[in-house]
Amino acid sequence: MGSQTQISSFAFHKIRDYVHRTAGIIIGADKTALVTGRLWRRLELFGFDSYEAYFSFVSSPKGAQERNTMLDLLTTNETYFFREPAHFNFLRDEIIPQQGYNKMRVWCAASSTGEEAHSIAMVLADTLGKTNWDILATDISGKVLEHARTGVYRAERINQIPEDYLKNYCRRGIGEYEGMLAVVPSLRSHITFEQHNLLNAREDDAQFDVIFLRNVMIYFDNATKQKVVENLLRALRPGGWLILGHCESLQGLNTGLTTVRPSIYRKPQAAAAFKRFAS
């Protein structure tokens, strides 16, 4: 058994179908090497001699935990601090000045290991101070969220963090933590990391001023994108902003949002609010 074990088209189809149904993620029909490359060690660990046998276990009640592991292995969690920095400048220079004195609530959807949420937190702390803001950061993967909650990263991952933010909001590890960096607790205390699947609407009625939904829509087909955006828009306050990754757009979707710049969208102010001023 090894990375060369062939996957049958039946097992490949079952796995692709499961990932699509559960997370909305499309695995291309030509991605057999990706699937086997990421899963063969699991077959080895459990002693299965075929992907059919592995998937049959994963689908059984006993395979509940392994289902999550399989999903974790088949999703892409790539992220880094201040990825696509123009969005953080937009937050600082355009959104925050329009916020007035209201508490700012940001939802970082598909946050992966937390670098994005911590980058947002640095901008909010720097511009708004210690209070008056909070962040909900969510991801489908419990594993990446576990990492995110620690706020500890390898120091080589931090070169995009502006120097003054590094000084104010990060601490370099010493001794056994040499080569690591920790985000300060005063920043982390503003962030709640929560497991959430974007295919579902959130159950509470929290409203957010800004939603970051970056570098995840690329994995979805149009029907899934429409559903995900509808779920998110229920939680975006009138006048709030939705920010996608630079390579992503809402083209072809029915959203009612206004394009502010490529990848940045705004929800119109509520009609009712206008009506109050009309007479």
Ligand X SMILES: C[S@@+](CC[C@H](N)C(=O)[O-])C[C@H]1O[C@@H](n2cnc3c(N)ncnc32)[C@H](O)[C@@H]1O
Establish whether 126 is a catalytic residue.
no
> 56-65 long-range contacts, Cβ below 8 Å, gap at least 24?
58/18, 59/14, 59/18
> CA–CA separation, 244 vs 77, rounded Å?
16
Strand 191-195 relative to strand 133-139, pairing: parallel
Q: Whole-number minimum distance, CB 252 to ligand X, in Å?
A: 19
Q: Whole-number minimum distance, CB 198 to ligand X, in Å?
A: 4
Closest CB to ligand X among residues 48, 220:
220
Closest CB to ligand X among residues 36, 215:
215
Establish whether 234 is a catalytic residue.
no
The candidate with the shortest Cα–Cα distance to 170, out of 243, 104, 114, 94, is 114
> Do residues 118 and 190 touch, judged by C-beta distance below 8 A?
no
Which residues of the shown chain bind ligand X in the complex (CB under 6 A)? 23-25, 75-79, 83, 110-112, 116, 139-141, 144, 197-199, 214-216, 245
Closest CB to ligand X among residues 32, 215:
215
CB atoms < 10 A from the CB of 141, how many?
A: 23
Q: Whole-number minimum distance, CB 72 to ligand X, in Å?
A: 7
The candidate with the shortest Cα–Cα distance to 42, out of 29, 54, 31, is 54
The candidate with the shortest Cα–Cα distance to 211, out of 139, 137, 270, 262, is 137
Q: Which residues pair with 182 in a beta bridge?
A: 152, 171
Closest CB to ligand X among residues 36, 75:
75
Selecting among 16, 105, 139, 214, the annotated active-site residue is 139
Q: Whole-number minimum distance, CB 130 to ligand X, in Å?
A: 25
The candidate with the shortest Cα–Cα distance to 208, out of 133, 104, 74, 138, is 104
Closest CB to ligand X among residues 28, 97:
28
Q: Whole-number minimum distance, CB 6 to ligand X, in Å?
A: 27
> Do residues 39 and 73 touch, judged by C-beta distance below 8 A?
yes
Q: Which residues are catalytic?
A: 38, 139
